[in-house]
């Protein structure tokens, strides 16, 4: 002992020094993978080709932001900078008052919730191209049910609730969906935190696992994302939490089944979680499954499943369902719903894009799978060998996460009919949740001594990848530009490209940009000529531009492909009607009635054609049929009668007016027209009955009072005529001077 200091046994001091250095040393494989990951982000920035769409965020954000991110990313390569980050993180501690008291915990939760909500809302997505956002928002306003009925009613129900009361907030469907997205994000964070605390109580490991979950591209779903997937992603996180809890402690199995049920009700793709549910029951009942046996069973199940799928596709079983809905395993006859078969280099390339987009930390999983020199004996915190480290990873948890990840990725590969961001990145992005957890747990097994260094790299992934992903989609112009580049240049199927152009056409239509709306509508039809919906949209566009001949040709092309496409046939009939081709229009519209007698949209133009062709009986038949279906065409039939009257076709107009009148319609214009026709036919007593009935229902209508005066005059009842003239004057009507002169002359110019 010198200078009052105690150095302790030299062996212990030396061992502690060695362990400290090991904890600060960065494993070379991690550094290599991170460097490759960083370089891959530079490729889309330096090249014009956007094929590497899973890592192209830098290309579309502001240059100053790219510069800041790049500087930070390069600094992470320096050991000294990583050490600084570790020291800074170590000094960030939650105050004891927030950790140890109930009030403090509640306050901390509230602060975190407010901060997360603010962040989610302020950086919410400004365009909704990545999925069906614009279509989804439009259908929220109508009684339309998608493939996810529970989610549809959740969104539509909230929209109707907020907009149906007298004190309506008039909240747009976009904002309603965005609010659901943010709330889903809060639920996700709650279960993410609970999951992390369930896996480990160690502060360093907690930070690492939580950062891994926050690094996923799935997080974009909670930044005001307008699609049905945010609640679904939150339910997957809840299922993972309950699955891990059950696999560790044997909590009630009812909760695991309930979580799976909620997930699958929100979206049927949750069937990928079913093998995980089965596995946690098996391991709870029979114990841990040996690794070799586990992988053998999983591989066998995949091989048998793929073999069965290939057979069903080859046989066109179930009416071709498996042929149409699943990605083909091998090259074969082209189908425009897919870009390429499962076993191909393009599948490998685009699958990498999607996986790295939604789960960037997964790139490190390969370093975790490498065999360590010290893997034969684990090292505890005290330095002894052969014992399991404190807070080690539960084997059942790993088996559960592996199973969910494997089958979720497999589902993504088999069901992602148009691989890429055209539609399905958001649907399958929830697979990042178990994959991210599995990745960091494998890394912790491989690099148990350096959780802080692992956290630095995961934090760098967030800065390099996830933050730019969110920033990009929070800017309308930049995210729109990216989407257009992807549609133009991606490895997309005809179906996906047509869908992308169609989305752009709908987007520019909402913004009143007719020129670009027309251009993208035409591009959709050209990209996917086999999709008659795009041909129909293009025909409708041409009709709106007055390019009638081209529109007619396109509508006929649609009908040739699908004779039952009633909307196309109706539009064609209406267009021909407006062009004056009544016989051709009648043929198309009559065919609709034959195919579907309840298709009310064709009734008005067909009734008009019948009327102008003098087939009044057919017009009345349509009117009666509409009434039987619960639709009232009285106003339209009255309008037709008025037009016929103006053409001098008095008897035909009378027939239409009287049909409407005798069915209980007491519209003042209708009754007035009936009375006028009766007077023209010399049937004054009947006209008086109609006019008096009209006056009783509409006592303040001046036209009725004046016509009553004229009718009384016609039958010689001058007193009655004067009475209604005075009534008309009281209603501020200027009585024609010629009629007044005739009335004065007939009464000796003496008013009563």
Q: Which pLDDT score is estimated for 99? A: 66
Three-class SS state of 419: coil
Tokens in use for 415? 């069901």
User: Can you name the residues that pair with 385 across neighbouring β-strands?
Assistant: 379
The answer to whether the beta carbons of residues 188 and 268 sit under 8 Å apart is no
Percent of the chain with pLDDT over 70: 89
Report the pLDDT value the prediction gives residue 572, as an integer from 0 to 100: 95
CB 336, CB 530: distance < 8 Å: yes
- What was the pLDDT predicted at 156? 87
* Cα 67 to Cα 647: distance, rounded to the nearest angstrom: 75
Which pLDDT value is given to residue 697? 85
Query: Rg of the chain's alpha carbons, rounded to an integer?
Result: 37
Distance of CA 355 to the CA centre of its chain: 20
Q: What is the pLDDT of residue 9?
A: 57
Q: What is the pLDDT of residue 696?
A: 87
Q: Which pLDDT score, from 0 to 100, does residue 421 have?
A: 46
For the segment 363-374, the average pLDDT, to the nearest whole number, is 72
pLDDT of 423 strictly over 90: no
Mean pLDDT of 609-613: 93
Confidence (pLDDT) at 101: 74
Residue in this structure with the two tokens 């009718």, named with its chain if needed:
711
Report pLDDT for 574.
94
Q: State the CATH class of domain 601-665.
A: mainly alpha
How far apart are the two ends of the chain, measured CA to CA in Å? 137
* Listed residue (210, 197, 247, 199) closest to 89, CA to CA: 210
330 pLDDT above the threshold of 60:
yes
H helix intervals, 316-364: 317-325, 345-358
Q: What is the pLDDT of residues 213-267, one digit of tens each?
A: 999 999 999 999 998 899 999 999 999 999 999 887 766 788 999 999 999 999 9
**Tokens 């603010």 — which residue?**
118
Please name the residue that has the structure tokens 């007016």.
657
At the topology level, CATH places domain 684-752 in 1.25.40
Least confident of 320-329, 377-386, 461-470, 541-550: 377-386
List C-alpha distances in Å: 114 to 111, 153, 185, 263, 415: 5, 27, 12, 26, 38
Average pLDDT over residues 335-340: 72
DSSP 279: H
Q: What integer is the mean pLDDT of 173-196?
A: 95
In this prediction, residue 70 carries a pLDDT of 96
User: How far is residue 260 from each of residues 240, 254, 277, 636, measured CA to CA in Å?
Assistant: 9, 10, 8, 53
Q: 23 or 631, which is more confident?
A: 631
Looking at residue 666, its pLDDT comes to: 86
Q: Give start-end residues of each CATH 1.25.40.10 domain in the chain.
A: 493-596
Residue 709 has pLDDT above 70, yes or no: yes
pLDDT computed for residue 371 by the predictor: 57
pLDDT given for residue 427 in this prediction:
87
Phi, psi of 505, rounded to the nearest 5 degrees? -60, -45
Confidence of residue 378 (pLDDT cuts 50, 70, 90): very low
What pLDDT is recorded for position 387?
Answer: 42
Q: Is 385 helix (H, G, I), strand (E, B) or coil?
A: strand
Structure confidence at residue 389 as a pLDDT band (50, 70, 90): very low
Burial of 273 (0-12, 13-18, 19+ CB in 10 A): buried
User: How high is the pLDDT of residue 2?
Assistant: 42
Q: Tell me: the pLDDT tens digits for 271-287?
A: 999 999 999 888 888 87
Kindly tell me if the per-residue pLDDT of 677 is higher than 50.
yes
Q: In CATH, which of 1.25.40.10, 3.40.50.10210, 2.40.110.10, 3.40.50.300 is domain 493-596?
A: 1.25.40.10
Give the contacts of 749 (CB within 8 A, at least 6 positions apart). Answer: none
The three-state secondary structure class of 7 is coil
Neighbours of 647 (CB within 10 A): 11
131 touches 229 (CB < 8 A): yes
Q: Are 449 and 19 in contact (CB under 8 A)?
A: yes
* Of residues 380 and 667, more confidently modeled: 667
pLDDT at position 169: 63
**Residue 608: pLDDT over 90:** yes
Nearest-angstrom CA–CA distance, 639 and 575 = 20
Residue 13 has pLDDT above 60, yes or no: no
Predicted local distance difference test score (pLDDT) of residue 514:
87
pLDDT of residue 336: 61
Q: Residue 592 and residue 599: Cα distance in Å, rounded?
A: 7
What six digits make up the tokens of 634? 């009285």
pTM for the structure as a whole = 0.78
Average pLDDT, integer, range 674-687: 91
CB count within 10 Å of CB 561 equals 14
Kindly report, residue by residue over 480-519, the tens digit of the pLDDT: 999 898 888 877 878 888 888 988 988 888 888 989 999 9
Place 181 in a pLDDT band, splitting at 50, 70 and 90: very high
Backbone dihedral angles phi then psi of residue 2, each to the nearest 5 degrees: -130, 140
Structure tokens that stand for 549 in this block: 């001949």
Contact predicate 222/230, CB 8 Å = yes
Determine contact, residues 244/198, Cβ cutoff 8 Å. yes
Mean pLDDT of the residues in the chain: 86
| Pair 612, 583: CB distance under 8 Å | no
């Amino acid at each position: 002992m010198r200078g009052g200091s105690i150095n302790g046994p030299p062996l212990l001091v030396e061992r502690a020094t060695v362990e400290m250095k090991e904890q600060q040393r960065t494993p070379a494989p991690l550094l290599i993978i991170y460097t490759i990951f960083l370089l891959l982000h530079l490729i889309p920035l330096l090249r014009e080709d956007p094929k590497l769409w899973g890592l192209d965020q830098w290309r579309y954000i502001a240059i100053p932001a790219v510069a800041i991110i790049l500087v930070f990313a390069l600094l992470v390569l320096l050991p000294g900078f990583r050490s600084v980050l570790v020291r800074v993180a170590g000094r960030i501690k939650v105050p004891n008052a927030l950790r140890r008291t109930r009030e403090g915990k509640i306050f901390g939760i509230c602060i975190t919730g407010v901060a997360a909500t603010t962040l989610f809302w302020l950086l919410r997505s400004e365009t909704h191209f990545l999925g069906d956002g614009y279509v989804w928002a439009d259908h929220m306003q109508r009684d339309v049910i998608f493939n996810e009925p529970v989610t549809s009613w959740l969104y539509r129900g909230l929209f109707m609730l907020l907009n149906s009361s007298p004190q309506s907030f008039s909240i747009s469907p976009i904002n309603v969906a965005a609010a659901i997205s943010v709330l889903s994000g809060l639920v996700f964070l709650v279960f993410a935190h609970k999951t992390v605390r369930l896996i480990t109580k160690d502060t360093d490991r907690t930070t690492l696992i939580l950062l891994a979950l926050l690094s996923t591209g799935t997080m974009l779903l909670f930044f005001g994302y307008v699609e049905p997937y945010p609640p679904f992603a939150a339910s997957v996180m809840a299922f993972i939490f309950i699955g891990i809890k059950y696999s560790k402690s044997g909590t009630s199995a009812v909760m695991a089944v309930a979580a799976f049920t909620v997930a699958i009700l929100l979206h049927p793709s949750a069937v990928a979680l079913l093998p995980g549910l089965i596995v946690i029951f098996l391991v709870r009942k029979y114990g841990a499954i040996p690794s070799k046996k586990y992988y053998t069973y999983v591989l066998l199940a995949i091989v048998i499943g793929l073999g069965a799928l290939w057979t069903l596709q080859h046989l066109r079983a179930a009416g071709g369902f498996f042929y149409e809905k699943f990605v083909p395993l091998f090259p074969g006859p082209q189908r425009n719903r897919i870009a390429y078969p499962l076993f191909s280099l393009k599948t490998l390339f685009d699958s990498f894009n999607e996986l790295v987009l939604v789960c960037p930390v997964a790139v490190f999983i390969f370093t975790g799978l490498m065999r360590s020199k010290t893997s034969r004996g684990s090292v505890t915190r005290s330095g002894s060998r052969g014992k399991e480290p404190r807070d080690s990873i539960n084997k059942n948890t790993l088996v559960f996460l592996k199973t969910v990840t494997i089958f979720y990725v497999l589902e993504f590969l088999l069901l992602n009919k148009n691989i890429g961001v055209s539609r399905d990145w958001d649907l399958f992005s929830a697979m990042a949740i178990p994959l991210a957890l599995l990745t960091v747990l494998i890394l912790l097994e491989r690099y148990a001594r350096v959780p802080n260094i692992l956290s630095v790299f995961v934090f760098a992934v967030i800065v390099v990848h996830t933050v730019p992903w969110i920033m990009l989609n929070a800017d309308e112009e930049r995210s729109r530009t990216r989407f257009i580049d992807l549609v133009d240049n991606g490895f997309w199927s005809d179906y996906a490209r047509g869908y992308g152009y169609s989305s752009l056409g709908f987007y520019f239509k909402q913004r009143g940009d007719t020129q670009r709306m027309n251009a993208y509508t035409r591009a959709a039809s050209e990209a996917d000529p086999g999709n008659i919906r795009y041909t129909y949209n293009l025909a409708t566009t041409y009709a709106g531009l007055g390019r009638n001949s081209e529109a007619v040709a396109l509508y006929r092309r649609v009908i040739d492909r699908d004779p039952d496409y009633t909307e196309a046939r109706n539009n064609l009939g209406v267009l021909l009607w407006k062009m004056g081709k009544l016989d051709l229009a009648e043929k198309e519209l009559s065919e609709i009635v034959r195919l579907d007698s309840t298709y009310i949209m064709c009734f008005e133009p067909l009734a008009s054609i019948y009327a102008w062709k003098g087939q009044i009986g057919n017009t009345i038949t349509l009117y009666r049929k509409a009434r039987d279906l619960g639709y009232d065409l009285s106003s339209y039939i009255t309008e037709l009668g008025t037009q016929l009257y103006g053409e001098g076709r008095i008897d035909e107009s009378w027939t239409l007016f009287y049909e409407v009148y005798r069915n209980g319609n007491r519209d003042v214009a209708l009754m007035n027209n009936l009375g006028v026709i009766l007077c023209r036919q010399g049937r004054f007593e009947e006209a008086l009955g109609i006019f008096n009935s009209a006056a009783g229902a509409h006592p303040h209508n001046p036209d009725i009072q004046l016509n009553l005066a004229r009718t009384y005059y016609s039958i010689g009842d001058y007193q009655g005529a004067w009475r209604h003239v005075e009534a008309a004057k009281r209603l501020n009507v200027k009585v024609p001077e010629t009629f007044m002169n005739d009335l004065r002359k007939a009464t000796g110019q003496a008013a009563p």
